[in-house]
Amino acid sequence: MDEVSESLVNKSDIESEEKVSENEQIDDMKEEELLDAAIRVAEKKKKLAALMVMDNHVTDDIRMVKQLIAPFSASENDEASEWVLNFERICGDVNESSNFKLRCVRMLMKAGTEADLFMRVDKSKTYDEFKGNFLKTFGRSNSTADVVLLSKETFFNPEKNSVMGYILRMEEIAMRADIEEKLTVQFIIDGFRDRSSSIALLYSASTIGKLKELARQYEALRKSTQTNFRRTGMTASGNDRSQVRCYNCSAHGHYASSCPAPKREKGSCFQCGSMQHQVKDCQQKPMSAQRSVDTASNPPMDDREENNIFVPIVNQRY
């Protein structure tokens, strides 16, 4: 009897121990599941934080690009190919990712314009696809001949552009077609229409980059030359007016337009107006003291001088 009771007790203890062991295993499994869940949550939080940082970075990049280029509005003044080139150049310095460029270029289609409507109907999934559709819709075909003609007809205007601004403008025009860089440099130099010796500074340039290096130096030299020219002109027309010679009577101190003497026929003698001889052979004495002012130091102009009057152009390129 005692043995039976003891056996039952032992069996009960074993069952209790097994039950405790099972409970512990269940608890361990639950704890492990909780730990796994906690790890997954931690990993997701980490990924979320990284995505938020990345998104903030992309947002900053987009903001930077939007500050560097104006939105495209598809107006008559907007050149699609030029705009795309500028956009890609700016993105190359900020973020070259294709996804970034696609996201960014969509945001740069100006609201309320044809560009905005295009963005709404375009189904492009990549930037290259968007670019192709964009140029097909808004691009203008520019032949090399058209670009060359435009380059030749675009001149420097100091009232509207700086020297550097003009060079950049001409560079942008040249980018519309496949034009040799040396030819573009020639168009730029010719476009300054500078007949002074200052332009010689640019003749050493064979690339647009070299022109840009010389731009500020040339602009300063150009302004200095113009200032000196104005001062010289003011002196000649004001303080030194006595050196002005009349082509009608050969006297000094006034112009032919205000000459009090009768109008002389072209080719006649400066002294007496005769067509039979030249002033060097004239036997007539000067008519008045006023007419012979400074004749000792400034002899009358020979008839042949009148036909050979010219204004020299210094350092012409051609």
Model confidence pLDDT, tens digit, residues 190-232: 999 998 888 999 999 999 999 999 999 999 998 887 766 555 5
Q: Write down the pTM of the prediction.
A: 0.41
* Residue 117 contacts residue 104 (beta carbons within 8 Å): no
Q: State the average pLDDT over residues 19-31.
A: 72
Model confidence pLDDT, tens digit, residues 229-244: 555 555 544 445 555 6
Helix or strand run (H / E) with residue 277: none
Which segments of the chain does DSSP mark as H helices, in order? Answer: 2-68, 80-94, 98-107, 114-121, 127-138, 144-153, 163-174, 181-191, 208-234, 303-307
* Residue 37 contacts residue 48 (beta carbons within 8 Å): no
Long-range Cβ pairs for the range 142-147 (8 Å, 24+): 142/81, 142/176, 142/177, 143/177, 144/177, 144/178, 144/179, 146/177, 147/173, 147/174, 147/176, 147/177, 147/179
CATH class belonging to 244-303: few secondary structures
Statement: residue 151 has pLDDT above 80 = yes
Convert 35-47 to b/e letters by CB count within 10 Å (16 or more is b): eeeeeeeeeeeee
pLDDT band at 27 (very low <50, low <70, confident <90, very high): confident
Ranges in the chain annotated CATH 4.10.60: 244-303
Rounded to an integer, what distance in angstroms lies between the CA atom of residue 72 and that of residue 134? 11
Model confidence pLDDT, tens digit, residues 114-141: 999 999 999 999 999 999 999 999 987 6
Token match 């099972």: residue?
22
Say which range, 18-22, 26-30, 270-274, 294-298, has the weakest mean pLDDT. 294-298
Statement: residue 300 has pLDDT above 90 = no
Rounded to an integer, what distance in angstroms lies between the CA atom of residue 281 and that of residue 51? 101
Of 264, 232, 230, 225, residue with least CA distance to 246: 264
Which comes out higher in pLDDT, residue 33 or 198? 198
